[in-house]
Amino acid sequence: MITLALSKGRIFDDSLPLLAAAGIEVLEDPEKSRKLILATSRPDVRVVLVRATDVPTYVQYGGADLGVAGKDVLLEHGEQGLYQPLDLKIARCRMSVAVREDFDYAAAVRQGSRIRVATKYTEIARQHFSDKGVHVDLIKLYGSMELAPLTGLADAIVDLVSTGSTLKANHLVEVEHIMDISSRLVVNQAALKLQREPIRALIDAFARAVTP
Ligand code: PRT
Ligand code: MG
């Protein structure tokens, strides 16, 4: 049995065409069912539904043989012990620094002031500002980062942006593009050795279906 870990929402939705290309149809709709283990049209493949941030953990410890996770999640989790054979180019977005429209970010950086940055992505933010030589106090949040600059909790946020409409609705502007983000296929190293043929076949089928 091959177990594939996916998170509900955009990653699940964007993975369906790739699964279809590998001859796998998920037999239940996660939005309609409360089941966490979903059967597929292939008797040897099942899907487990986990939180997006838990996908690397499931795959690393063998709770799943493969999974799909955002590069953001992988960088925060740490990529040790995870084989990443493919950029699936799905759930694409970018990691950015954003501030209030009236905040002079360039001046703050130029003056070498300490900047308060609120984010869920503390590892990515720490690395980014350390590379730039900017002093930051990082404040860890678990959601609604956009609120932090509006309430005075922070000067800036590091968050994912796709259309930009969330920033716009909250009078925030992007001032730095940190990196492009997409989702990767991650594979448990031991599973790759033990079930080499079927897992290789899946990776190859996904690779052929990736839209450049
Ligand atoms: O939502 P939940 O708390 O359950 O978990 P999650 O946020 O970790 O999962 P999910 O499904 O929302 O995101 C899974 C993955 O999708 C992330 O790890 C990213 O790699 C990727 N992804 C792609 C995004 C976005 N686009 C995105 N726009 N993840 C989050 N967003 C959020 C962003 O944080 C911001 O709040 O959407 C908002 C901005 O969107 P725009 O379109 O207004 O710019
Ligand atoms: Mg989300």
Whether 94 lines ligand 1, by a CB cut-off of 6 Å, is no
Residue type, 53: T
Predicted TM-score (pTM) of this structure? 0.96
Beta strands 172-181 and 93-100 are antiparallel
Tens of pLDDT, residue by residue over 106-136, are 999 998 889 999 999 999 999 999 999 999 9
Q: What is the pLDDT of residue 18?
A: 97
Give, using CA atoms, the residue closest to atom 15 of ligand 1. Answer: 70
How many CB atoms lie under 10 A from the CB of residue 144? Answer: 13
Residue type, 148: A
Identify the CATH homologous superfamily for domain 93-180.
Periplasmic binding protein-like II (3.40.190.10)
3-state secondary structure of 136: strand
**CATH architecture of the region 2-91+182-209:** 3-Layer(aba) Sandwich (3.40)
Token couple for 181: 């983000």
Give, using CA atoms, the residue closest to atom 17 of ligand 1. Answer: 70
Output Rg (C-alpha) for the chain, integer angstroms.
19
In a 13 Å sphere around the CA of 157, the CA atoms on its Cβ side amount to 29
3-state secondary structure of 109: helix
Q: Kindly tell me if the per-residue pLDDT of 192 is higher than 90.
A: yes
**In this structure, are residues 92 and 163 in contact, taking their beta carbons and an 8 Å threshold?**
no
Whether 166 lines ligand 1, by a CB cut-off of 6 Å, is yes
Whether 52 lines ligand 1, by a CB cut-off of 6 Å, is yes
Tokens 């990691």 sit on residue? 95
Nearest CA to 192 out of 64, 55, 65, 45 is that of 65
Q: Report d(CA 3, CA 10) in Å as an integer.
A: 19
Same fold across 2-91+182-209 and 93-180: yes
Tens of pLDDT, residue by residue over 27-69, are 999 999 999 999 999 999 999 999 999 999 999 999 999 999 9
Nearest atom in ligand 1 to the alpha carbon of residue 53 is 8
Q: Kindly tell me if the per-residue pLDDT of 205 is higher than 90.
A: yes
Sequence spans of domains, the chain: 2-91+182-209, 93-180
